[in-house]
Amino acid sequence: MDRDIAHALAGFAEQSGRGLDGLDRKALFAQLEERHRELLAAIAWFLDERQPDGAMRIANALARFWTATGRLEEGSQLFGHILAAANGSEAYFGRACFEAGLVEFWRGDDDRASALHRRALEVGRRSGDATISALALTGLARIALRSNQLDDAQQLCREALTASQGEGSPLGRANALHVLGVAAQMAGNLSDAREFMGERMVLARELGQYGGIAAEAANLAMVEHQLGDLDRTEALACEALEIALRREDEWMFPYLLSRLAAVAAERRELERAATLIGAADAMMAAQGAAWPPDERPHYERTVSTLASAMGDAGFENARARGQTLATHQAVELALAATPPDVR
């Protein structure tokens, strides 16, 4: 490893990271997977050479890749080493604290996530970086949601919207709208949730962020489900799943399977619903992830409904079958109008 190669790898990571929300996600993930060892070696080189900015550039770009490929433990350890050594630019450091905080959030370690987001917020405010400030505030809002502190979460998101007003990058605003929609949904303010999520979807479409479109379609499906519109719920969840399938975004699959399982349960398609829940369980376990605070109550409600309707033994048998499905079988079952025989 030499200087030129290390900097070229940092540029490659950043360019790939910017494209991960598009339809080229599959190809970009394949490239990142192929060159992952080189990228880790470049991080090590930058740290050895006491050039933390280069290490942070790569880690910030790879954070979503690590999350989506189930490398949460590895990402946590790498960010820990990088941030312990960092004394470089505040822009890279603030973003690294935010990205590391998200990794910890998805690992379920809210204490570490909170500490990292607060560091990011300090950096953002000190340096006048509105994007970092807004991202950090939404990170703290996610943690507040997990502990059901809905008022605090919404206040943090409104602060993030204020911070992101007039900034060149819409990233902070997009994150704030996303978490505000989730908070409104959890608080039962479904009309507000629909408005925030709709605005976030419009912004994602304008930016060509297919990942953002799919994420908000999934969240809006949850809102429509609570409003009692099963057809709209199913349509949105299927749109999100089809986009995720095109992008091979397996991180989203369990959330959408859970959503479609809830619809199937209400339609009394009990075996199908329980099988989808089992497939979602297996996917979450494979990712090493925990259900986020807006998803868990709905997932648990579906599980409870199915166990009650089918009996514990019947439910667990169908759930176990779902846990054995290959990913493509589970997705086909979720999208199928008439469920195939998966026995």
Convert the pLDDT of each residue in 113-143 to its tens digit: 999 999 999 999 999 999 999 999 999 999 9
Two structure tokens written together for 192: 């507000």
Is 197 domain-assigned?
no
158-190 pLDDT tens trace: 999 888 876 656 888 888 898 899 889 888 899
Given this model, what pLDDT does residue 39 score? 97
Given this model, what pLDDT does residue 337 score? 56
Please give the mean pLDDT across all residues of the chain: 91
Is 51 domain-assigned?
yes
- Local confidence band at 322 (pLDDT 50, 70, 90 cut-offs): very high
Cα gap 259→255, rounded to integer Å = 6
Residue 336: what residue type?
A
64-106 pLDDT tens trace: 999 988 899 999 999 999 999 877 899 999 999 999 999 999 9
Is 240 domain-assigned?
no
Residues 6+ apart with CB under 8 A from 212: 21, 174, 178, 200, 201, 203, 204
- Judge contact between 127 and 90, C-beta under 8 A: yes
Burial class of residue 104 in the structure, from the number of CB atoms within 10 Å of its CB (0-12 exposed, 13-18 middle, 19+ buried): buried
With left for phi above 0 and alpha for psi between -120 and 50, is residue 188 left, alpha or beta?
left
Is 208 domain-assigned?
no
Domain that holds residue 65: 1-88
Return the sign of the alpha-carbon dihedral for residues 249, 179, 113, 13.
positive
Given this model, what pLDDT does residue 342 score? 39
Is 336 domain-assigned?
no
Task: Compute, in degrees rounded to 10, the torsion defined by CA atoms 82, 248, 242, 341.
Answer: -130
Q: Please give the residue that has the higher pLDDT: either 34 or 161.
A: 34
The residue to which tokens 């960010």 are assigned: 79
Is 184 domain-assigned?
no
Return the sign of the alpha-carbon dihedral for residues 53, 56, 57, 58.
positive
Angle (deg, nearest 10), helices 36-48 and 72-85: 20
Given this model, what pLDDT does residue 26 score? 84
Average pLDDT, integer, range 225-232: 92
The pTM assigned to this predicted structure is 0.74
Is 28 domain-assigned?
yes
Is 57 domain-assigned?
yes
Domains in the chain, number:
1
Given this model, what pLDDT does residue 69 score? 87
